[in-house]
């Protein structure tokens, strides 16, 4: 197939997709207009005037939308079956939190390693003490010195990881606090009447 034929086919396909998209947009606008003007709408869009209902639906849209598209990615683009894609759901939240921990650990690792030099007094003292302890344990001095430096670096990595986890906890706390504040934007309800006031 020639390049011109391929280009002609691509243009035709793009034209068909644009027509479908424009038709879908027009249909959505038509449905919204009908639902807002109908005396007995199928979906009562006037409910979104209620702030509590609007906030609850927004939160549901964001949370459910994220949960819904997460397994679709491996199914559509990677050819996974429904069971394998469903397993992604359990790992999704873990993956997001793990990403935060990993990124923040890298930041702290970079910041802390700047202080790990042989010119830093604390590093020299700690390395000397570890070398001495390892020499007393039976290692020769060069091996003990090498393991002492590795031990200092390993301790620094543990500190960076701890700070990364603390940052992730802080991010989760901020998100929880934001969710609590959204609840205050909702209108009060009267439990005895079962309706929202306002």
Cα separations (Å) of 146 from 15, 42, 109, 162? 67, 74, 20, 25
Handedness of CA 120, 123, 129, 131 (dihedral sign): negative
Question: Are 13 and 109 in a shared domain?
Answer: no
What is the rounded distance in angstroms from the CA atom of residue 169 to the CA atom of residue 191? 35
Give pLDDT, residue 43.
Answer: 85
Same domain, 21 and 116: no
Backbone angles phi, psi at 114, to 5 degrees: -65, -25
54-71: buried (b, 16+ CB within 10 Å) or exposed (e) per residue?
Answer: eeeeeeeeeeeeeeeebb
Looking at the structure, tell me whether residues 84 and 101 fall in a common domain: yes
Q: 94 with 123, same domain?
A: yes
Query: Tens place of pLDDT for every residue, the chain, 198 residues?
Result: 566 665 666 566 555 555 556 677 888 889 889 988 988 888 888 888 888 888 888 877 777 776 667 677 777 777 788 888 777 666 666 777 788 889 999 999 999 998 888 889 999 999 999 999 999 999 999 999 999 999 999 999 999 999 999 898 888 888 878 877 877 877 777 667 665 555
pLDDT at 79: 79
Task: Give counts: helices (H), strands (E), the chain.
Answer: 5, 2
Question: Could you tell me what percentage of the chain is helix, strand and coil, using 3-state DSSP and rounding each to the nearest 5?
Answer: 80, 0, 15
Residues 160 and 72 in one domain: yes
Q: Could you identify the residue written with the tokens 């491996």?
A: 74
Q: Same structural domain for residues 87 and 146?
A: yes
Domain end call among 48, 65, 80:
48
H or E segment to which residue 189 belongs: strand 189-190
Tokens of 16: 């068909």
Residue 44 and residue 58 in one domain = no
Q: Are residue 113 and residue 131 in the same domain, yes or no?
A: yes
Measure the CA–CA gap between 159 and 170, rounded to whole angstroms: 16
**Domain range enclosing 19:** 1-48
**63 and 33 in a common domain:** no
Look at residue 104 in the predicted model and tell me its pLDDT.
93
Tally of domains in the chain: 2
Quick one: CA torsion of 101, 102, 104, 105, rounded to 10 degrees?
Answer: 100
How many residues appear in the chain? 198
Q: What pLDDT is recorded for position 117?
A: 86
């Amino acid at each position: 197939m020639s390049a011109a034929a391929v280009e002609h086919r691509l243009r035709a396909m793009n034209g068909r997709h644009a027509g479908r998209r424009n038709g879908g947009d027009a249909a959505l606008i038509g449905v919204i207009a009908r639902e807002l003007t109908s005396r007995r709408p199928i979906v009562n869009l006037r409910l979104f005037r209620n702030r509590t209902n609007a906030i609850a639906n927004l939160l549901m849209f964001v949370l459910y939308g994220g949960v819904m598209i997460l397994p679709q990615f491996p199914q559509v683009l990677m050819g996974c079956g429904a069971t394998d894609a469903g397993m992604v759901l359990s790992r999704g939240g873990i993956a997001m939190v793990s990403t935060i921990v990993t990124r923040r650990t890298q930041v702290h690792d970079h910041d802390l390693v700047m202080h790990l030099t042989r010119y830093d007094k604390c590093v020299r003292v700690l390395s000397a003490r570890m070398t001495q302890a390892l020499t007393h344990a039976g290692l020769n001095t060069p091996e003990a010195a090498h393991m002492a430096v590795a031990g200092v670096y390993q301790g620094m990595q543990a500190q960076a990881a701890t700070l990364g986890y603390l940052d992730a906890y802080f991010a989760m706390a901020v998100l929880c606090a934001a969710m609590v504040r959204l609840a205050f934007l909702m209108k009060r309800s009267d439990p005895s009447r079962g309706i929202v006031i306002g």
